[in-house]
Amino acid sequence: MVYVTFDDGPAESTIELLDLLEELDVPATFFWVGAQMLKYPDAVRATHKRGHAIACHSFYHQTSLLKSKENFRRETERFNRVLGEVLGYPLEVRMIRFPYGSSTTTPEVRRYARESGYLWIDWNANNFDTHPDYSRNTQAMLAAAMRTSGDRDEIVMLMHEDKRRTREMLPALIQHYRDNGYVFDILTPDLDHYIPGVSMGLPIQREIRKDEE
């Protein structure tokens, strides 16, 4: 299984990426910045309409989210409020990827996220499209994505939707996975297991209910 994920959007190029994903017949999970949703509302509506998953990547992509439970609550509530305003109806997101990954936050905030019913999740594969040694070379990014994926049974691939070369390398990467027997799916807060090699936290409430059954 491969979970294709994109961070930091939506962006000016999101619609172009959606068209490419449709051509490739691949669903994706978008970890978005709330302030960006205000800039590109058409991209938000198109992404939701086409069946991709929308998740939180904070409101401003600043480290304030990482510092306290109150900041986490404020950022996520604002994200959900703006998402509902853009879509025209409420849609509560309960999945988050912390800016810069979970290692930059605290155990207190990570636990609070789980107590609040959130799935938080990082990644176990990366095309390094924000790294200067890779971002200017499509083939280097493709090689990095394949190398970090390895032969894992479940792959959570980190990419960024505003990177032109990521879009250029995506068809070859998808074909590589298909040639090796992988299928594709979106991440959801209902995920019921831990993915090897991925730092993540399942919602505590769901774990309790599962234990009680």
Query: Are 168 and 141 in contact, with CB atoms under 8 Å apart?
Result: no
| Rounded average pLDDT over 46-69 | 90
- Which pLDDT score, from 0 to 100, does residue 207 have? 52
Please state, in angstroms and rounded to a whole number, the distance separating the CA atoms of residues 129 and 70: 32
Please enumerate in sequence order all residues whose Cβ is within 8 A of that of 54, keeping only pairs 6 or more positions apart, or say none: 30, 32, 44, 47, 48, 83, 91, 93
How much is the mean pLDDT over the chain?
Answer: 93
For residue 201, which of 85, 101, 83 has the smallest C-alpha distance?
A: 101
- Which pLDDT score, from 0 to 100, does residue 211 have? 41
Residue 66: pLDDT band (50, 70, 90) is: confident
Q: Domain 2-212: give its CATH architecture.
A: Alpha-Beta Barrel (3.20)
Query: Are 155 and 185 in contact, with CB atoms under 8 Å apart?
Result: no
- Predicted TM-score of the model (pTM): 0.94
Please state, in angstroms and rounded to a whole number, the distance separating the CA atoms of residues 213 and 62: 39
Of residues 47 and 63, the one with the higher pLDDT is 47
Q: Where are the domains of the chain?
A: 2-212
| Rounded average pLDDT over 88-109 | 94
Counting residues of the chain whose pLDDT is more than 90, the rounded percentage is: 88
- Cite the DSSP H helix spans in 50-163: 69-87, 107-115, 138-149
- Tokens 């939701």: give the residue: 48
Please state, in angstroms and rounded to a whole number, the distance separating the CA atoms of residues 180 and 100: 30
Q: Tell me: the pLDDT tens digits for 150-180?
A: 999 999 999 999 999 999 999 999 999 999 9
Residue 193: pLDDT band (50, 70, 90) is: very high
